[in-house]
Structures are given as structure tokens and as C-alpha cells.
Structure 1
Amino acid sequence: MSRFNPAGEAGQSLRLVDELAALDSPMHRLAPLPKLLLTVLYVSLTLSFPKYALSGLSVMALFPVFGYQLAGISLLVCFRRLRFILPLVCAVGLFNPFFDRETLFFLGNLPVSGGVISMLTLLLKGVFALTAAFLLIATTPLEGICGALGKLRCPKVMVSLLLLTFRYITVLLDEASLMTEAYSLRAPGQRGVHISAWGSFLGQLLLRSMDRAESLYSSMLLRGFTGELPRSFNSAVSPLSWTAAGICAALMVLSRMYDLPALLGKLLIGG
């Protein structure tokens, strides 16, 4: 019988992201800075679509799908990692059909209201944005992302804090996992930590985390840490990466400016 240990599961999820980012593929070999800018552009363009532009928005699905294929990562892995967030995204426009009942068109004899279209548009926007963000972190080590943020002149304190928080949150999760395991051995048959033990559990976790943090910080100082990222994080960007990112960006902007499915439909009907 497996024990209930959410901290251990969270630590495994973070390690899985690191393992995915360590793979080798054309998407992984793309430099972090163009990849970060491309992701920001994609999310911005996706969110800028009007609420009824379902046809034009559908084209934006090609970019994350093609990116996952290049990276050799299954979309099922993305959806499995985001399974707790996706329901919240799906619920954003859930009540739109009740407020916007104006009929936009008929699907056969079935009227389709504006609320249904806007609900589907919001749903796709959220899903596309999440899949693009996960593709970035699944194909780029965190050091590379932090190096790209440094090149964009982000505050050094914030970049260092982001790096250290993500890198050593697994240490905190490991401590919580060990404490949960020890608690479950002393309380067999009980699922989770009883509410009467939450105070002492969190207090012990805080003390153990502070001790580990002191040890880690001392080790970093002994290795020459000065509060700034190493220069190795700020590697040069190859012209090939900028070229690939520029082509993708142009296609994204073109997809935003024109409703490509509608244009293709008119060409086929006209032909």
C-alpha cells in the first residue's frame, strides 16, 4: 500500500522537468534568449485575439504542436503535468453561454451563440499559453532562462532569486517528504498529517529548512558565489537561432493579422 506523500510527488515532477530540459533535440539546441522572446511573443499574440475569433485562433495550435514534435516530447506529458491547472483554465469562460445568448451562426439546424464561441476562445487561449510556457521550461534549463533574463537587463536580485528558488525548492520538498514519511510510520493507516500536528510539523520543517539553507549558502560562498550569475549562463546566441526564431515570429504575426482558415476557405470555394 503506497503512502500519501504529496511533497515527494512534487519533487519528482520538478526532477522530471529537469530531465526533459536535458534532452537533445533541435528545439533544445535553440538558444534560450530567442526561445524566451518567441514564447512571450506567442503568448501575447494568442491572448490578443478577439473573443469571437475562434477560426483565426485555431491556427495558433500549430506552433506548440510543431514545437513538441521538434523537441521529441509528447503533448500527453504536458497535459499530465498541468492537469491541476487546466480545469481552472477551462472554468474561466464557463458561464459565457448564459450571458451572451446572441446567435452568431447555425451549425445545421443548431444555433451557436456568441457565448459558446467566446467560451471556446478563452479555453483555447489558456491551453495554448500553458502549453507554450511548459514547452519553454521543458526544453530550456533554468540556468539558460535566467541567463536570457540577465541579457534582457532584468534585476540581478530577481534573477538570482528565481534561480535559487527553483533550484533548491527540491531540497525543501525532500525535507517535507522525509518528515511525512516519518509521520506516516508513526501513524499507520492515517492519510496525511492530522490537523492537530500541523503546527509542530510546519515548525520543524521551517527549522530543518533553515539549517539546510545555512549549509547550502556556506557551500556557495566557499565556491566563490558573489550574488551574481556565472558568466557561463550568458552564452552567445548563434545566428541560426535568431534566424529560426525570426521565421517563427513572422509566421506568428502573419497568423494574427489574417484569418488564415477563412482565407483558405474562400480560396477553395472560389476555386
Structure 2
Amino acid sequence: MIFTGILAAGVVWCLFYNYISNAALLLLSICAAGLFLWAGHVKEQRVEIDLLAGSSRLSEVPPLLKFLLAISLMACSICAGRPVIGVQIAILLMLISIIAGGVRVKTYLHMVAVPLSFLMISGLALLWEYNPADKGNLSISIGIGYLCVTKAAQVRTMLVMARALGAVSALYLLSLSTPMPEIIGVLRKMRCPDVMTELMYLIYRYIFVLFNIHDSMKNSAMSRLGYIDYPTGIRTTGRIYSNLLAYSYRQASRNFDAMESRCFDGSIRFLDPERKWQPAYVAGAIFLAVLEWLLCVMVR
């Protein structure tokens, strides 16, 4: 995460250069780098999203209502004409997930740090462009031209990153409060093809199965001094991933045999729990959606 922290500081510096004072810009860059460094060094066990969703205080809200709210806010963020809308949606949904949902702050930031890292890399690609003339706020002479950051690139990058941040926050609100089987049940009610929903569940489940097996193999290798030095660590990593591939095939065969022994007929079904549509839930969701859309229209 050290590289990600340096990258975040560089992106923030390029993004807001000439918009705020150098002292404030330096402080903001240090805060951005420190946030990523802190999120990367949080000493937590890997937590399955389904466990967080099942223990969330928002799990009693009907999944269809949460799904529609998340899609509405995500569309609002993507259609926003100003960066402030995406940032506002991200902050609001983060507070809802932490305060109303009961997710710990460090857990939320640790999870959001992953998509934010990709946003930072995309931001660098959008900020810097090659021009034959020096006409940017920041510029580096390369050959016969200049690699520079223009004001138009800064505005464009702010908008794109704010839109993506708001959309990602909407998806996190849904995933941290709704277990995967309930999301699949909502998609089934919307007449999505069975093949799509079943593949979604199987792929999602196998990701965590492979994570758990990888952790067991890595801990076993560490107890046998498999990472005592760099060359040994490289050989150990190669052997772990080769064994992981073989294990995934064996586990897939075992799971298919178990499904056939339980009268598997080609479709995977889940029991959808009944969730009462409380008036407070519906009113709150409508209020949030309408408020964000009105703000989006007014700011535009």
C-alpha cells in the first residue's frame, strides 16, 4: 500500500493544482496518502461480504427496495454534471453503511481502498496528456513536446472520478446490507436468465472458497519456512498456485456430485425470506432518491 499512498498523493496534487493554495494542497495530499497507508495496514482477518450483509442492521429492509435505491443513486451519480454530486452520494452512503448498517469504519475504508486504487490509476491516465506546446498547469518536457496537465483535463478527471466513486458507494451499500442469495432472488423476479443468476452465485461462492484454501496453504507454507528468503518465497508461491488450480478442479467435481445426490435438475433455487415493506423503509428510500435527483438537477 506504500505505492498506492504515493500514487494517491500524486493524483490529488495534480488534480487540485492551481485550484487551492500550495499549503492546503500539500496537506490534502498527505491526508490522502495517509488514508491509504492506514487502510492498507489494518490488521484484520479477511471478512466475507455475506457475513457483513447478514449481520447488518439493514438486512431486514426488503432486498428489492435496497436494490432499486442503489440502482437509482448509481444512475444519479453517473448522470451528474458536477463532481459534487458524486462526492455527496459517496459520503452519504458511507454514513448510512456505518451508522445505520453497523459496519465498522476501518472495515469500510479497508474495503473501499481497493476500488479507489484503480480510480487513482485511471485518474493519472486521464490527467496527463501529450501536447506539442506547453499549455498546461503542470508540464514536463519530453522530446519535441510536453507531457502536461491542463485545466480541462483536471475538470474532466474530477467529474469521472466523482461519478465512479458515487456509483461504487451505491454498490457497496447494496452488497454490505444484502446477502448474495437475496440479490439473486431480486434478479430472478426481474426475469433475468437462470443461467446468468446461477453462474453469478457459483462464481461468487468459489472466490471465497479459493481464498480460504489459499490462506490455509500459505499458513502451512509459512510454518515450514517457505518464505524464509526471496527465492524460496517465489518457489513456494508457484507451488501454492499450482496446487490451488488442482484443488479447484477437485472441489468442483465434489460439489457437482453433492448437487446430483440432492436431486439437482439443472437449476439452483433459494428460499426467499419474507421481508415486510415497512412504511418507514419505503419513505426513507424514496426521500433519498428524490433528494439526490433534485440536487443533481439543481446543480446541473
TM > 0.5: yes
Map 1:152-231 to 2 at 5 A.
Answer: 152-184=190-222, 185=224, 187=226, 189-190=228-229, 194-196=233-235, 200-231=239-270
Q: Of 64, 72, 88, which aligns to 2:118?
A: 88
Q: Of 58, 75, 99, which aligns to 1:44?
A: 75
Range moving further from structure 2, 40-49 or 181-190: 181-190
Q: Of 58, 67, 71, which aligns to 2:96?
A: 67
Q: Does 1:246 align with 2:261?
A: no
Q: Which amino acid aligns with 1:125?
A: R
Q: Which residue is equivalent to 2:296?
A: 256
Whole-Å Cα distance in 1 between the matches of residues 266 and 231 of structure 2? 38
Q: Which residue is equivalent to 1:13?
A: 46
Range moving further from structure 2, 194-203 or 222-231: 194-203
Q: Which residue is equivalent to 1:118?
A: 156
Range moving further from structure 2, 133-142 or 211-220: 211-220
Q: Which residue is equivalent to 2:54?
A: 22
| CA displacement at 1:33 relative to structure 2 | 1.6
Whole-Å Cα distance in 1 between the matches of residues 127 and 238 of structure 2? 45
Whole-Å Cα distance in 2 between the matches of residues 171 and 135 of structure 1? 24
Deviations 1:4-60 (A, max 9, x none): xxxxx9x94342x222112242x322111221122122112111123xx23444443
Contact kept, 8 Å, 1:22 with 1:141, in 2: the verdict is yes
| Structure 1: 5+ residue stretches without partners | 1-8, 103-111, 261-271
Structure 1 pair 183–56 and aligned structure 2 pair: CA distance change class (3 A): closer
Structure 1 pair 70–196 and aligned structure 2 pair: CA distance change class (3 A): closer
| CA displacement at 1:90 relative to structure 2 | 2.6
Whole-Å Cα distance in 1 between the matches of residues 259 and 192 of structure 2? 22
| CA displacement at 1:137 relative to structure 2 | 1.0
Structure 1 pair 145–179 and aligned structure 2 pair: CA distance change class (3 A): same
Contact kept, 8 Å, 1:146 with 1:163, in 2: the verdict is yes
Q: In structure 2, the residue corresponding to 1:13 is in which secondary structure?
A: coil
Q: TM-score, normalised by structure 1?
A: 0.72
Corresponding residue pairs, total:
238
Contact kept, 8 Å, 1:38 with 1:245, in 2: the verdict is yes
| Structure 2: 5+ residue stretches without partners | 1-41, 130-134, 138-149
Structure 1 pair 179–231 and aligned structure 2 pair: CA distance change class (3 A): closer
Whole-Å Cα distance in 2 between the matches of residues 24 and 186 of structure 1? 39
| CA displacement at 1:195 relative to structure 2 | 4.4
Range moving further from structure 2, 39-48 or 223-232: 223-232
| CA displacement at 1:124 relative to structure 2 | 2.4
Cα RMSD, aligned residues only: 3.3
Q: Which residue is equivalent to 1:269?
A: none
Contact kept, 8 Å, 2:65 with 2:285, in 1: the verdict is yes
Contact kept, 8 Å, 1:14 with 1:170, in 2: the verdict is no
Q: In structure 2, the residue corresponding to 1:93 is in which secondary structure?
A: helix
Whole-Å Cα distance in 1 between the matches of residues 204 and 86 of structure 2? 33
Q: Which residue is equivalent to 1:3?
A: none
Deviations 1:101-137 (A, max 9, x none): 59xxxxxxxxx94443433333322222222212211
Greater relative contact order (CA < 8 Å, ≥ 6 in sequence): 1
